[in-house]
């Protein structure tokens, strides 16, 4: 599966636009607040990476369900709430390329 934020893939030709696909993930476990800011930011970074990976996996699964082999124009939105929940939303256009 080819993933890109651009609207084209160099060296490939888009044969068919399959539709818009999304992947959304929110960490369900609340992060612990620490007085050590280094540990706090390291925790946020690690959790954000995990949540982002889950959102991208859902995005790819949704594209595969449309028989796409690439996703173009990907936009990523990451948010840390006041309660230290992390939400990641990923959206793009599923396409078939050759």
Residues 33 and 84: beta-carbon distance below 8 Å: yes
User: Based on the number of CB atoms within 10 Å of its own CB, is 13 exposed (0-12), middle (13-18) or buried (19 or more)?
Assistant: exposed
69-94 per-position pLDDT tens digit: 999 999 999 998 877 788 999 999 99
Mean pLDDT computed over 14-38: 83
Query: CA-CA distance, 78 to 15, in Å (whole number)?
Result: 31
pLDDT at 28: 66
Residue 37's domain comprises 2-97
Give the chain's domain count. 1
Alpha helix (H) residue ranges in the chain: 37-65
Mean pLDDT computed over 24-32: 74
pTM score, whole prediction: 0.85
Residues 79 and 20: beta-carbon distance below 8 Å: no
Per-residue pLDDT for 31 more than 60?
no
pLDDT at 47: 84
Per-residue pLDDT for 59 more than 80?
yes
Q: How many helices (H) and strands (E) does the chain have?
A: 1, 4
Which CATH number belongs to the domain containing residue 20 in this structure?
3.30.110.70
Q: Which has more pLDDT, 48 or 64?
A: 64
């Amino acid at each position: 599966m080819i993933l890109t934020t651009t609207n084209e893939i160099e060296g490939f030709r888009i044969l068919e636009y399959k539709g818009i696909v999304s992947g959304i993930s929110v960490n369900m476990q609340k992060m612990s607040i620490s007085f050590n800011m280094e540990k706090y930011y390291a925790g946020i970074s690690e959790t954000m990476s995990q949540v982002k990976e889950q959102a991208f996996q859902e995005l790819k699964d949704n594209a595969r369900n449309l028989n796409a082999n690439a996703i173009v124009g990907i936009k990523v939105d990451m948010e840390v709430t006041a309660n230290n929940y992390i939400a990641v939303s990923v959206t793009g256009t599923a396409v078939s390329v050759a």
